[in-house]
Amino acid sequence: MTANKNRIAAMPRAYPDYPYIEPIAANLSEAEIVQMVEDMLSQNPTISLNDGGPLDKLCRALNVDVEYSDAPNEILLDVPLNRHAVIWLPRRGKPRQDRMTLATGIGHWLLHVPVTREAYPHNGIQALYSPTDTKALREARLFAFDLLMPEETFTNLWYEGRAQLTAETLNVPTQAVYDRARWLDLTSVGDHASHDPSDPDTKADQADPNPPPQSPGAGMGGYARRVGS
Protein backbone atom coordinates (compact mmCIF):
# COMPACT_ATOMS: atom_id res chain seq x y z
CA MET A 1 0.00 0.00 0.00
CA THR A 2 1.31 3.45 -0.87
CA ALA A 3 0.43 6.76 0.74
CA ASN A 4 -0.96 10.01 -0.55
CA LYS A 5 1.79 12.61 -0.35
CA ASN A 6 -0.70 15.14 0.98
CA ARG A 7 -1.43 12.93 3.99
CA ILE A 8 1.37 13.30 6.51
CA ALA A 9 1.98 10.49 8.95
CA ALA A 10 3.90 10.65 12.20
CA MET A 11 7.24 8.90 11.87
CA PRO A 12 7.52 6.25 14.59
CA ARG A 13 9.79 6.34 17.56
CA ALA A 14 11.40 3.28 19.07
CA TYR A 15 8.67 1.27 20.75
CA PRO A 16 8.99 0.85 24.52
CA ASP A 17 8.15 -2.86 24.72
CA TYR A 18 10.94 -4.22 22.50
CA PRO A 19 14.25 -2.89 21.13
CA TYR A 20 15.13 -1.96 17.58
CA ILE A 21 18.27 -2.77 15.67
CA GLU A 22 19.75 -1.46 12.44
CA PRO A 23 19.93 -3.97 9.56
CA ILE A 24 22.86 -6.33 9.26
CA ALA A 25 24.83 -6.33 6.00
CA ALA A 26 24.27 -9.42 3.87
CA ASN A 27 27.92 -9.53 2.73
CA LEU A 28 26.91 -10.27 -0.84
CA SER A 29 29.06 -9.66 -3.88
CA GLU A 30 27.99 -7.19 -6.54
CA ALA A 31 27.16 -10.11 -8.85
CA GLU A 32 24.94 -11.68 -6.18
CA ILE A 33 23.06 -8.42 -5.65
CA VAL A 34 22.55 -8.01 -9.40
CA GLN A 35 21.20 -11.56 -9.52
CA MET A 36 18.75 -10.78 -6.71
CA VAL A 37 17.42 -7.84 -8.69
CA GLU A 38 16.99 -10.00 -11.77
CA ASP A 39 15.27 -12.74 -9.77
CA MET A 40 12.88 -10.26 -8.16
CA LEU A 41 11.89 -8.78 -11.52
CA SER A 42 11.48 -12.23 -13.08
CA GLN A 43 9.08 -13.14 -10.27
CA ASN A 44 7.05 -10.00 -11.00
CA PRO A 45 6.85 -10.06 -14.84
CA THR A 46 4.06 -7.46 -15.03
CA ILE A 47 6.27 -4.83 -13.39
CA SER A 48 8.51 -2.81 -15.67
CA LEU A 49 10.76 0.02 -14.55
CA ASN A 50 12.28 0.76 -17.94
CA ASP A 51 10.03 3.78 -18.46
CA GLY A 52 11.14 5.49 -15.25
CA GLY A 53 7.67 5.12 -13.73
CA PRO A 54 6.70 4.94 -10.05
CA LEU A 55 7.61 2.04 -7.80
CA ASP A 56 4.16 1.80 -6.20
CA LYS A 57 3.27 -1.48 -7.87
CA LEU A 58 6.54 -3.09 -6.87
CA CYS A 59 6.13 -1.96 -3.26
CA ARG A 60 2.63 -3.46 -3.18
CA ALA A 61 3.92 -6.73 -4.63
CA LEU A 62 6.57 -6.87 -1.90
CA ASN A 63 4.04 -5.98 0.84
CA VAL A 64 5.82 -2.76 1.80
CA ASP A 65 3.89 0.41 2.63
CA VAL A 66 5.03 3.94 1.79
CA GLU A 67 4.43 6.95 4.04
CA TYR A 68 5.42 10.61 3.95
CA SER A 69 6.60 12.59 6.95
CA ASP A 70 7.77 16.07 7.79
CA ALA A 71 11.33 16.56 8.98
CA PRO A 72 13.29 15.16 10.65
CA ASN A 73 13.41 12.27 8.19
CA GLU A 74 15.80 9.87 9.83
CA ILE A 75 14.17 6.47 9.27
CA LEU A 76 14.34 5.10 5.74
CA LEU A 77 12.72 1.70 6.41
CA ASP A 78 10.81 0.75 9.55
CA VAL A 79 10.03 -2.94 10.15
CA PRO A 80 7.95 -3.46 13.32
CA LEU A 81 7.49 -6.96 14.67
CA ASN A 82 3.81 -7.35 13.92
CA ARG A 83 2.93 -4.71 11.33
CA HIS A 84 3.72 -3.94 7.71
CA ALA A 85 7.12 -2.60 6.82
CA VAL A 86 7.09 1.10 5.87
CA ILE A 87 9.46 3.09 3.69
CA TRP A 88 9.47 6.72 4.87
CA LEU A 89 9.84 9.54 2.36
CA PRO A 90 10.21 13.26 3.10
CA ARG A 91 7.03 15.14 2.25
CA ARG A 92 8.99 17.81 0.41
CA GLY A 93 11.19 15.33 -1.45
CA LYS A 94 11.64 15.42 -5.22
CA PRO A 95 10.14 12.61 -7.38
CA ARG A 96 13.48 11.44 -8.75
CA GLN A 97 15.05 11.27 -5.31
CA ASP A 98 11.94 9.52 -3.98
CA ARG A 99 12.46 6.77 -6.56
CA MET A 100 16.06 6.29 -5.41
CA THR A 101 14.99 6.24 -1.77
CA LEU A 102 12.23 3.70 -2.46
CA ALA A 103 14.62 1.47 -4.38
CA THR A 104 17.14 1.69 -1.53
CA GLY A 105 14.42 0.80 0.98
CA ILE A 106 13.43 -2.19 -1.14
CA GLY A 107 17.09 -3.21 -1.17
CA HIS A 108 17.17 -3.16 2.63
CA TRP A 109 13.89 -5.11 2.74
CA LEU A 110 15.12 -7.92 0.49
CA LEU A 111 18.82 -8.02 1.34
CA HIS A 112 18.96 -7.29 5.04
CA VAL A 113 15.64 -7.77 6.81
CA PRO A 114 15.64 -11.61 6.45
CA VAL A 115 19.16 -12.05 7.88
CA THR A 116 18.61 -9.45 10.60
CA ARG A 117 15.27 -10.96 11.63
CA GLU A 118 16.85 -14.42 11.78
CA ALA A 119 19.65 -13.15 14.04
CA TYR A 120 17.38 -10.95 16.21
CA PRO A 121 13.85 -12.40 16.05
CA HIS A 122 12.51 -10.27 18.91
CA ASN A 123 13.67 -6.90 17.59
CA GLY A 124 12.18 -4.35 15.27
CA ILE A 125 14.43 -3.20 12.42
CA GLN A 126 15.06 0.40 11.36
CA ALA A 127 17.28 1.28 8.42
CA LEU A 128 18.37 4.89 8.83
CA TYR A 129 19.29 7.52 6.27
CA SER A 130 22.51 8.05 8.25
CA PRO A 131 23.31 4.66 9.76
CA THR A 132 25.89 3.83 12.39
CA ASP A 133 27.58 1.38 10.01
CA THR A 134 27.32 2.17 6.29
CA LYS A 135 27.99 -1.34 4.95
CA ALA A 136 24.32 -2.37 4.69
CA LEU A 137 23.43 1.01 3.18
CA ARG A 138 26.09 0.56 0.50
CA GLU A 139 24.60 -2.81 -0.41
CA ALA A 140 21.09 -1.37 -0.51
CA ARG A 141 22.22 1.49 -2.75
CA LEU A 142 23.97 -0.87 -5.12
CA PHE A 143 20.68 -2.80 -5.29
CA ALA A 144 18.88 0.46 -6.07
CA PHE A 145 21.42 1.40 -8.73
CA ASP A 146 20.98 -1.91 -10.53
CA LEU A 147 17.19 -1.81 -10.17
CA LEU A 148 16.77 1.71 -11.58
CA MET A 149 19.91 1.94 -13.72
CA PRO A 150 20.73 -1.55 -15.05
CA GLU A 151 24.24 -1.69 -16.45
CA GLU A 152 23.52 -2.28 -20.14
CA THR A 153 20.72 0.28 -20.38
CA PHE A 154 22.68 2.80 -18.36
CA THR A 155 25.88 2.37 -20.40
CA ASN A 156 24.05 2.87 -23.70
CA LEU A 157 22.34 6.02 -22.45
CA TRP A 158 25.56 7.35 -20.94
CA TYR A 159 27.49 7.10 -24.19
CA GLU A 160 24.54 8.48 -26.15
CA GLY A 161 23.84 11.55 -24.09
CA ARG A 162 25.83 11.53 -20.85
CA ALA A 163 24.21 12.51 -17.55
CA GLN A 164 21.29 14.67 -18.62
CA LEU A 165 19.78 12.18 -21.06
CA THR A 166 20.36 9.30 -18.65
CA ALA A 167 18.76 11.10 -15.71
CA GLU A 168 15.74 12.17 -17.75
CA THR A 169 15.20 8.78 -19.38
CA LEU A 170 15.58 6.71 -16.21
CA ASN A 171 13.96 9.34 -13.97
CA VAL A 172 16.75 9.38 -11.41
CA PRO A 173 18.73 12.22 -9.79
CA THR A 174 21.61 13.65 -11.78
CA GLN A 175 24.02 12.97 -8.93
CA ALA A 176 22.97 9.32 -8.87
CA VAL A 177 23.81 9.09 -12.58
CA TYR A 178 27.35 10.34 -11.98
CA ASP A 179 27.72 8.00 -9.01
CA ARG A 180 26.57 5.05 -11.12
CA ALA A 181 28.92 6.03 -13.94
CA ARG A 182 31.85 6.14 -11.52
CA TRP A 183 30.82 2.78 -10.12
CA LEU A 184 30.91 1.32 -13.65
CA ASP A 185 34.20 3.12 -14.48
CA LEU A 186 32.55 5.09 -17.28
CA THR A 187 33.71 8.53 -16.21
CA SER A 188 36.74 10.27 -17.62
CA VAL A 189 38.81 13.18 -16.41
CA GLY A 190 36.54 16.21 -16.28
CA ASP A 191 33.36 14.19 -15.76
CA HIS A 192 31.77 15.31 -12.54
CA ALA A 193 28.34 16.01 -11.14
CA SER A 194 27.03 19.51 -11.49
CA HIS A 195 26.09 20.79 -8.07
CA ASP A 196 24.06 23.54 -9.65
CA PRO A 197 21.46 24.52 -7.03
CA SER A 198 18.93 24.92 -9.84
CA ASP A 199 18.99 21.12 -10.25
CA PRO A 200 16.36 20.08 -7.68
CA ASP A 201 17.14 16.39 -7.93
CA THR A 202 20.84 16.56 -7.14
CA LYS A 203 21.35 15.16 -3.66
CA ALA A 204 24.77 13.64 -3.33
CA ASP A 205 24.42 12.47 0.24
CA GLN A 206 21.60 10.07 -0.64
CA ALA A 207 22.93 8.87 -3.98
CA ASP A 208 26.55 7.91 -3.38
CA PRO A 209 26.88 4.11 -2.98
CA ASN A 210 29.99 4.62 -0.86
CA PRO A 211 29.16 7.28 1.72
CA PRO A 212 32.00 8.28 4.05
CA PRO A 213 32.05 6.36 7.33
CA GLN A 214 30.60 8.11 10.33
CA SER A 215 31.57 8.05 13.95
CA PRO A 216 29.72 5.58 16.19
CA GLY A 217 26.23 6.80 16.99
CA ALA A 218 26.11 9.44 14.27
CA GLY A 219 22.70 9.88 12.68
CA MET A 220 20.88 7.68 15.20
CA GLY A 221 18.40 10.40 16.03
CA GLY A 222 17.14 8.41 19.01
CA TYR A 223 15.08 6.13 16.79
CA ALA A 224 17.05 2.89 16.39
CA ARG A 225 18.47 1.44 19.59
CA ARG A 226 21.28 -1.02 19.99
CA VAL A 227 20.16 -4.39 21.27
CA GLY A 228 20.34 -4.40 25.04
CA SER A 229 20.21 -0.61 25.32
Average pLDDT for the chain: 79
pLDDT winner (highest mean) among 40-49, 61-70, 183-192, 193-202: 61-70
Q: What is the pLDDT of residue 192?
A: 54
Quote the CA–CA distance of 112 and 27 in Å, as a whole number: 10
Quick: pLDDT tens for 21-71.
999 999 999 999 999 999 998 888 888 776 788 898 899 999 999 999 887
pLDDT-derived band at 79 (thresholds 50, 70, 90) equals very high
What would the mean pLDDT of 71-86 be, rounded to a whole number?
89
Position with higher pLDDT, 167 vs 220: 167
Q: Which CATH code fits 20-149?
A: 1.10.10
Residue 121 has pLDDT above 60, yes or no: yes
